[in-house]
Amino acid sequence: QVQLVESGGGLVQAGGSLTLSCEASGRIFSLYAMGWFRQGPGKEREFVAAISWSGGNTYYADSGKGRFTISRDNAKNTVYMQMNSLKFEDTAVYYCAADRTMGVPRLEGAYDYWGQGTQVTVSS
């Protein structure tokens, strides 16, 4: 089992920045690829970004390219997502997820473990 706890969400004005954190406990964190997903009001959950177990590979959805940066610190069992130039449409509950794979998975169904989510609200 892997337990994931997100933090760092909040209310921010459009154009502002936030950094989300996701701390893992349980199994060996460094064996897992990590992803961030989000679910906006009235929308389905969607992929945002993912990072490989080593941190050497990352992948972003078009919505976050150039604005979001995913990173990880395996010594701290934590994955981060720096979000800059936030837009109103970035408002969502953000979830982190873990998948024991060598790749950089983008599909929701590939992930085995999920956090409870953290709310990000961007005011226009």
| pLDDT tens digits for range 64-107 | 999 999 999 999 999 999 999 999 999 999 999 999 988 999 99
Reported as a single tens digit per residue, the pLDDT across 39-71 is 999 999 999 999 999 999 999 999 999 999 999
Q: Residue 114 pLDDT more than 90?
A: yes
Task: Show the beta-strand stretches assigned E in 1-124.
Answer: 2-7, 10-13, 18-26, 33-39, 46-51, 58-60, 68-73, 78-83, 92-99, 113-114, 118-123
As to burial, measured by CB atoms within 10 angstroms (0-12 exposed, 13-18 middle, 19+ buried), residue 42 is exposed
Q: 49: closest CA among 90, 5, 8? A: 90
